C-alpha cells in the first residue's frame, strides 16, 4: 500500500477563505503552490498566503476537481494519525445515541464530510457495518479505520462497498462487497427501524443497501396512514409503504420502475404483521401517475420521493421542471382532505427553491392546503456545510 507523504500547499484568496470558514473542499483552481510529486492520499498541509501559518490539513486527491478534501481547519497543532480518526469516529458514534435509544438498530455512523470523513460513508444494519468508499484518498488509512469502526459500533461483520470509480481503480486489491471482518451468512441483512422490520442487500443493493436518511419521514407517514389508502412513488425497497402497512393502512400501492425493487418492497412488508393490501405498479413514474389520473384514482396519502434529478449543474433547470410536474401530478392523485408528501434529494436544488416550486404549482389549483411540516435529514445525517444539506421534504394537507 502507498505510504503517504506530506505536501506544502498554498491557495488563492478564495480557496483560503473556504478553509478558514471550515469548508471541507478545496478545488484544483484554488491551488497556487504544491509539491510536483503530489499523489492521492498524501497529507496536504495548507499554509496561509501571507504569514506562512498552517490553517488546515487535508488529503490530496489527484482524481477529483475537489483536489484537497479537508480533515481539519484551524491553527492548532494536530497529528493526522490513527488516534485522530478514532476520536472522530467516537464523536460521530456519540452523536447517534439518541436515535439508538429508540427501537432502531440501523443508522449512518459516518456521513462523509459532515462527520469529517470526506468521500467515506458508513452505515450499520443490525450487526453488519457497511463502509462505502468514494475516494482513493482513504486507501492508506483504511486498516486502522476499519478496526475502530468495528470496535466502536460493536459490529460483528464489516463489508466494503466501492463506488464505480473505485471498482475500476488499480490502486487496490479490494472488490465491491468484500467482507473485511467477520462472516456474512446472507447478502440480505434484516434490521429494525422504529419498530418496523426491513432488510437490505449489503453486497449488491444501491449505495450501502438501503436509504437511511428518510427514516423520520417514513415513521411520520406511517403514523398518518392508519385506515388510509397510500401511494408510494419511487418506492424502491418500500420504506414508506412498509411503515404505512405496519401502522394499519387499508391499502398501499408501491410504484417503482424496478420490478426487483418492488419484490424487495413486498418482501419487506411481509417481515411485519399487517392487515391491509399491498399492491405494486412497475413502470416509469410519470407515465404511471398520468394513467392513474386518467382512471380517476385517488389516494388519502401520496408520497413522491424521486432519486436525484440534478447530479450536475447542467441538469438543474430540468430537475426543477420535473419537481413541478410531480407536484402537479401528486395533487391530482391526492384525495379530498388528503396528504401529499413531496421530497427532493438533489443538493443542487436548494430547499428554498424546492418549496417555492411546490407552492407555485399548488397555489394554481382550486384547492386550499396547508404546508403542515417541513423536514430535512434524520439525526444520523448531521449537516456541517451548505452542500451537505441535500434532503428536504414537505407535507401538504388539503382542506378539500
What is the chain's mean pLDDT, rounded? Answer: 95
Main-chain dihedrals φ then ψ at residue 206, nearest 5 degrees: -55, 145
Q: Is the pLDDT of residue 3 over 90?
A: no
Digit-coded pLDDT (tens) for 188-200: 999 999 999 999 9
Q: Is the pLDDT of residue 15 over 90?
A: yes
Q: Which residues of 370-386 are buried (b: 16+ CB within 10 A; e: fewer)?
A: eeeeebebbebbeebee
Does residue 95 or residue 52 have the better pLDDT? 95
Instruction: Output the pLDDT for position 51.
Output: 79
Digit-coded pLDDT (tens) for 327-372: 999 999 999 999 999 999 999 999 999 999 999 999 999 899 999 9
Instruction: Output the pLDDT for position 1.
Output: 59
Instruction: Output the pLDDT for position 58.
Output: 96
Digit-coded pLDDT (tens) for 59-89: 999 999 999 999 999 988 899 999 999 999 9
Q: How open is the CA angle 64-70-76, to the nearest 5 degrees?
A: 155
Q: How open is the CA angle 299-300-302, to the nearest 5 degrees?
A: 65
Does residue 51 or residue 219 have the better pLDDT? 219
Cα distance between residue 209 and residue 123, in whole Å: 9
Radius of gyration of the chain measured on its C-alpha atoms: 23
Amino acid at each position: 500500500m502507498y505510504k503517504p507523504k506530506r505536501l506544502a500547499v498554498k491557495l488563492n484568496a478564495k480557496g483560503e477563505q473556504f478553509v478558514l470558514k471550515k469548508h471541507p473542499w478545496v478545488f484544483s483552481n484554488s491551488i497556487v503552490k504544491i509539491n510536483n510529486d503530489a499523489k492521492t492520499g498524501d497529507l496536504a498541509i495548507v499554509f496561509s498566503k501571507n504569514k506562512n501559518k498552517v490553517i488546515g490539513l487535508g488529503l490530496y486527491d489527484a482524481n477529483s476537481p475537489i483536489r484537497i478534501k479537508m480533515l481539519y481547519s484551524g491553527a492548532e497543532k494536530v497529528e493526522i494519525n490513527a488516534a485522530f480518526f478514532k476520536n472522530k469516529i467516537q464523536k460521530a458514534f456519540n452523536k447517534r445515541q439518541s436515535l439508538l435509544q429508540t427501537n432502531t438498530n440501523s443508522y449512518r455512523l459516518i456521513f462523509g464530510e459532515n462527520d469529517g470523513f470526506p468521500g467515506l460513508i458508513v452505515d450499520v444494519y443490525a450487526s453488519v457495518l457497511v463502509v462505502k468508499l468514494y475516494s482513493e484518498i482513504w486507501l492508506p488509512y483504511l486498516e486502522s479505520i476499519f478496526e475502530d469502526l468495528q470496535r466502536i459500533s460493536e459490529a460483528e461483520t464489516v463489508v466494503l462497498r466501492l463506488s464505480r470509480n473505485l471498482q475500476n481503480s488499480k490502486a487496490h486489491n479490494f472488490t465491491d462487497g468484500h467482507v473485511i471482518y467477520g462472516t456474512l451468512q446472507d447478502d440480505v441483512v434484516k434490521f429494525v427501524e422504529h419498530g418496523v422490520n426491513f432488510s437490505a442487500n449489503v453486497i449488491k443493493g444501491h449505495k450501502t443497501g438501503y436509504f437511511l436518511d428518510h427514516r423520520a419521514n417514513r415513521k411520520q407517514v406511517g403514523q398518518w396512514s392508519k385506515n388510509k389508502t397510500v401511494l408510494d412513488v419511487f418506492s424502491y425497497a418500500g420504506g414508506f409503504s412498509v411503515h404505512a402497512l405496519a401502522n394499519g393502512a387499508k391499502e398501499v400501492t408501491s410504484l417503482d420502475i424496478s420490478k426487483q425493487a418492488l419484490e424487495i418492497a413486498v418482501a419487506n412488508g411481509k417481515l411485519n404483521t399487517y392487515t391491509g393490501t399491498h399492491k405494486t405498479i412497475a413502470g416509469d413514474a410519470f407515465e404511471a401517475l398520468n394513467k392513474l389520473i386518467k382512471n380517476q384514482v385517488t389516494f388519502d396519502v401520496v408520497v413522491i420521493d424521486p432519486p436525484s434529478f440534478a447530479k450536475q449543474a447542467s441538469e438543474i433547470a430540468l430537475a426543477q421542471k420535473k419537481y413541478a410536474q410531480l407536484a402537479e401530478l401528486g395533487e391530482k392523485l391526492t384525495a379530498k382532505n388528503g396528504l401529499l408528501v413531496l421530497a427532493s434529494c438533489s443538493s443542487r436544488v436548494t430547499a428554498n427553491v424546492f418549496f417555492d416550486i411546490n407552492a407555485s404549482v399548488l397555489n394554481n389549483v382550486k384547492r386550499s392546503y396547508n404546508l403542515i411540516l417541513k423536514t430535512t435529514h434524520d439525526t444520523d445525517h448531521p449537516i456541517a456545510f451548505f452542500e451537505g444539506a441535500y434532503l428536504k421534504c414537505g407535507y401538504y394537507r388539503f382542506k378539500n
